[in-house]
Amino acid sequence: MSEVSANLYAHLRAAFPVDLDAVAVETDSGDCYSWRDLDRGTAMLANFLQSLGLPHDARIAVQVEKSVEALMLYLATLRAGFVFLPLNSAYQSAEINYFLGDAEPAVVVCSAQNFGWVTTLAFSAGTRWVFTLNDDRSGSLLERAAQASDQHAVVSKMPDDLAVIIYTSGTTGRSKGAMLTHGNMLSNALVLKDFWGWRSAQQGGDVLIHALPIFHVHGLFVAIHGALINGSKMIWLAKFDPKLVLQHLPHATVFMGVPTLYVRLLAEPGLNHSATRHMRLFISGSAPLLLDTFKAWQERTGHAILERYGMSETIMLTSNPLQGERRGGTVGPPLPGVSLRVISGQGRELAAGEIGDIQVKGPNVFAGYWRMPEKTAEEFTSDGFFKTGDVGQLDASGYVTIVGRSKDLIISGGYNVYPAELESFINDLPGVSESAVVGVPHADFGEVGVAVVVPKPGVQLDAGQILAALKARLANYKVPKQCHVVADLPRNAMGKVQKNLLRTQYR
Ligand code: MLC
Ligand code: AMP
């Protein structure tokens, strides 16, 4: 791979259709952006970022609502060779403070609404520039970039050069920044382009309904890279709304969602064979798709949802096939180029059907955790496999089934919630002796958190107040849906809290 061609943006740009005036992105409010608009907009933003005189590895941290301009900012950051750091728009100040302190971004882009507190945090973390970008095309970023040239030469990058840092919460409290390179993302995008049979304009042209947030791997990489590296149009929904998705299905061919999106679509009476007859592919991931959902979807629409499996550190790892059997309850075989093995607690590679820890290797696997060499070393084996923290099995035909997680993690509506983070927060509340947070099944979100809290002797705790305190400080999706105040937590002979008992009791 030549130097220039390793920049992911150069590859996405090379896939733009010949007709640059064709529509690349159509929003739910009817605005259309052509491929030329994407090229010019990203050029102006890239020129503007470069005019700030930033170091080559400058991090550009972005916490904004979903918009096409936010998409352009992502692409412009790649184009200019800087490092993109997406942040969930639900994060509050304590969470943002940690990310800014850890990543030390040179530039922070936030909504005008959050400008006051974000600026205070950013400047104390050493950030030089804070700009605003709102979802109505207003804000200082676009005002400033409007002066920049719309001609820009893509900055040359090597495959191992850092492109993005994605924070993924740690099992023991501290969030870790997974460092993804241009090579990681490009290799995965190219594999998925073939594996999912993206159709070029000559083959009828795919159209993707993009209904996911753009601050995590699913919406930011799998969906956006998938469409752009194929020159495919996106129907861009600012927020998932099942009725809106139904309305757009006749004009689209590909849809991607976390399982909650499929559950909510199934609740729409208008979802049937006729509504989905124009669609080529429904893809699910980020959390387990229940077999019931898979079957109900097939019955209602005639489509077998294609389930795939991945993570922030690795992008996509496995996928059910486009042709061939899509087996509900499995995440399909490893993608081409991905080595996947299942390992016993004693480090032995397990045979088909045996359950153990999933380890992976491949060009898609990240370059390590940002400024955490020891943590990085711990998460890789001596022969270079990454320990996913997922527990599963391979069957005789190579399909992977995920049966659980060795990491203490709740996946709620496709978002990761780390019990350790919540427990440490609850334990710091006045009057709390200790706490445990566990995941229980939930019809809509798949899984949700329940907090079980023990008061200090003589203290009366109010469950509602505990939840309110969490809601005031943490991203809303992390807040447990229930809280129970109890006299003590069940423990085993070693003194370890028996979370399995709590899960059964509160399910
Ligand atoms: C919102 N809430 C959630 C929640 N989302 N609670 C738990 N889990 C969630 N995921 C809260 C809201 O704050 C609100 O609380 C209440 O639940 C009801 O919210 P809602 O109106 O029903 O939520 P909505 O805004 O519609 O959002 C639901 C959703 C969203 C499913 C559309 O969560 C979503 O977009 N999820 C996708 C996440 C995603 O993209 N994951 C990819 C990760 S990448 P209150 O108290 O305010 O009423 C990855 C790798 C891979 O994992 O393999 O892809
Ligand atoms: P994240 O760190 O947000 O990228 O989340 C990655 C985790 O999501 C993985 O380690 C899995 O536990 C889970 N995950 C992703 N896709 C699937 C899937 N199809 N089925 C089950 N779990 C999944």
Identify whether 45 is part of a domain: yes
Three-state DSSP string of 465-496: HHHHHHHHHCCHHHCCCEEEECCCCCECCCCC
d(CA 139, ligand 2 centre) in Å: 35
CA atoms of 270 and 265, how far apart (whole Å): 9
Determine the Cα–Cα distance for residues 371 and 103; give it in Å rounded to an integer. 9
| Tens-digit pLDDT string for the chain (507 aa) | 444 479 999 999 999 999 999 999 999 999 999 999 999 999 999 999 999 999 999 999 999 999 999 999 999 999 999 999 999 999 999 999 999 999 999 999 999 999 999 999 999 999 999 999 999 999 999 999 999 999 999 999 999 999 999 999 755 557 999 999 999 999 999 999 999 999 988 777 999 999 999 999 999 999 999 999 999 999 999 999 999 999 999 999 999 999 999 999 999 999 999 999 999 999 999 999 999 999 999 999 999 999 999 999 999 999 999 999 999 999 999 999 999 999 999 999 999 999 999 999 999 999 999 999 999 999 999 999 999 999 999 999 999 999 999 888 999 999 999 999 999 999 999 999 999 999 999 999 999 999 999 999 999 999 999 999 999 999 999 999 999 999 999 999 999 999 999 999 999
For residue 69, is it within any domain? yes
- From 89, 241, 258, give the residue whose CB has the most ligand 1 atoms within 8 Å, as the site to mutate: 258
* Domain limits for position 466: 410-505
Q: How far is ligand 1, taken at its centre, from the CA of residue 63, in Å?
A: 16
- Asked which of 239, 257, 291 is the last residue of a domain, the reply is 239
Is the pTM here over 0.95, yes or no? yes
Domain's final residue, options 206, 239, 272: 239
User: Residue 231 maps to which CATH number?
Assistant: 3.40.50.12780
Residue 222 in domain: yes
Residue 472 lies in a domain: yes
415 CA from centroid of ligand 1 (Å)? 6
Which residue minimizes the CA distance to atom 20 of ligand 2? 288
Q: Which ligand has the nearest atom to the CA of 169?
A: 2
- DSSP summary character for residue 213: -
**And the tokens for 325?**
């059997």
Ligand 2, atom nearest to 178 Cα: 2
Instruction: Give the residue whose CA is nearest to atom 28 of ligand 1.
Output: 413
Q: Print the SS3 string covering 17-80.
A: CCCCCCEEEEECCCCEEEHHHHHHHHHHHHHHHHHCCCCCCCEEEEECCCCHHHHHHHHHHHHC
CA distance 445 to 263: 9
Rounded CA separation 381/306 (Å):
30
Residue-level pLDDT at 2? 42
Question: Residue 260 C-alpha to ligand 1 middle, in angstroms?
Answer: 8
Take atom 39 of ligand 1 and give the residue whose Cα is closest.
Answer: 414
Question: Ligand 2: residues within 6 Å at CB?
Answer: 168, 217, 285-288, 307, 309-312, 331, 388-390, 402, 405, 411, 416
Q: Tell me what pLDDT residue 1 has.
A: 40
Angle separating helix axes 291-301 and 259-266, nearest 10 degrees: 50
Residues facing 129 on adjacent strands: 107
Separation of CA 478 and ligand 1 centre (Å): 9
Is residue 282 one of the residues assigned to a domain? no
Asked, for residue 296, whether it belongs to a domain, the answer is: no
Which residues have C-beta atoms less than 6 Å from ligand 1? 212-213, 216-219, 240, 258, 260, 285-286, 310-311, 412-415, 445, 448, 476-477
Domain-located, residue 370: no
What residue owns the CA closest to ligand 1's atom 16? 477
Number of domains in the chain: 2
Tokens representing 365 are 């696997």
User: What residues are paired with 62 via a beta bridge?
Assistant: 86, 109
Return the C-alpha torsion angle 292, 297, 299, 301, nearest 10: 180
DSSP assigned state of 334: B
Distance CA 266, CA 247 (A): 14
Distance (angstroms) between ligand 2 centre and the Cα of 310 equals: 6
Nearest residue CA, atom 49 of ligand 1? 286
Asked if the structure places residue 12 within a domain, the reply is yes
Domain boundary among 194, 210, 239: 239
Long-range Cβ contacts of 331-334 (<8 Å, 24+ apart) = 331/285, 331/307, 331/399, 331/400, 331/401, 331/402, 332/306, 332/307, 332/308, 332/399, 332/400, 333/397, 333/398, 333/399, 333/400, 334/360, 334/398, 334/400
**C-alpha atoms less than 13 angstroms from C-alpha of 230 in its C-beta half-sphere:** 30
Alpha-carbon dihedral sign for residues 488, 491, 497, 499 = negative
Structure tokens at 467: 């939840």
Containing H/E element for 499?
A: helix 499-506
CATH number of the CATH domain containing 458: 3.30.300.30
